[in-house]
Amino acid sequence: MKKISYLCPRDKRITTMTTIDLRMMLAQEIQNIPDSEQMLMKAINYVRSLTKHKDVTLTGDALRLWNRTVELAALTAGWDGAQALPMEKKALQNMQRLIKAGESEDFQQWVLFPDDNGTVLMQSKDGKASISIGNNSYSFVCTKDGKMDAGQNVKFSAASALKTLRALA
């Protein structure tokens, strides 16, 4: 039996196997392609559903954060290489409601990150404040002048979250 060495894309190691084993592995990978296409189509449709609303014109930093929510929407389970949950659709929609409620200047000092629990983490560029947006509530923490301020499970509304964001800035 002829053996072949190749670089395994999954674990980045050089693997040696027989040509028969290699053919069997490739056949299994080919069978998984339709599932991958189906998952890709679900992600594309999800992104489309998030970007339906065209009633507000976004510019500058508001547009930057809006585009980031679209990027985050494409994350699926295990996006961190471990056990991360996919992004929660409602949490992303809440983040977009917050963006639409504010002005571009409100978001100048903020960046968005995915959280492994499916929520959206908005953090100040200086790292002194953060807001976690969930499906029904948000939480925040801020260190200012050596004092810490925090709130947990605050019922989400765009107006309330925007008021908090402005107070933390």
Joined tokens for residue 148:
């810490």
Q: pLDDT tens-digit profile of 94-119?
A: 999 999 999 989 999 999 999 999 99
Note whether residue 116 is domain-resident.
Answer: yes
pLDDT in tens, 3-22: 656 555 555 666 666 666 66
Yes or no: say if 166 and 110 are a contact pair by the CB < 8 Å rule.
no
Tell me whether residue 112 is in a domain.
Answer: yes
* Predicted local confidence at residue 146, as pLDDT: 75
Residue 121 lies in a domain: yes
**Ranges assigned E (strand) in the chain:** 3-7, 14-18, 110-114, 120-124, 129-133, 137-144, 147-155
Q: pLDDT, tens digit, for every residue of 73-98?
A: 988 899 888 999 999 999 999 999 99
Helices H / strands E in the chain, number of each: 4, 7
What is the number of domains present in the chain?
1
Contact 66, 110 (CB under 8 A): no
pLDDT in the model for residue 169: 81
Q: Is residue 26 part of a domain?
A: no
Tokens representing 12?
Answer: 């980045």
pLDDT of residue 26: 62
Provide the sign of the torsion angle of the four alpha carbons 139, 159, 103, 71, taken in this order: positive
pLDDT in tens, 27-55: 666 566 556 666 677 766 666 665 555 55
Q: Is 93 exposed, middle or buried (0-12, 13-18, 19+ CB in 10 A)?
A: middle
Q: Which domain holds residue 158?
A: 51-168
Whether pTM > 0.85 for this model: the answer is no
pLDDT, tens digit, for every residue of 136-164?
999 999 988 778 888 899 999 999 999 99
Q: 129 pLDDT exceeds 80?
A: yes
Q: What are phi and psi of 146, to 5 degrees?
A: 80, 0
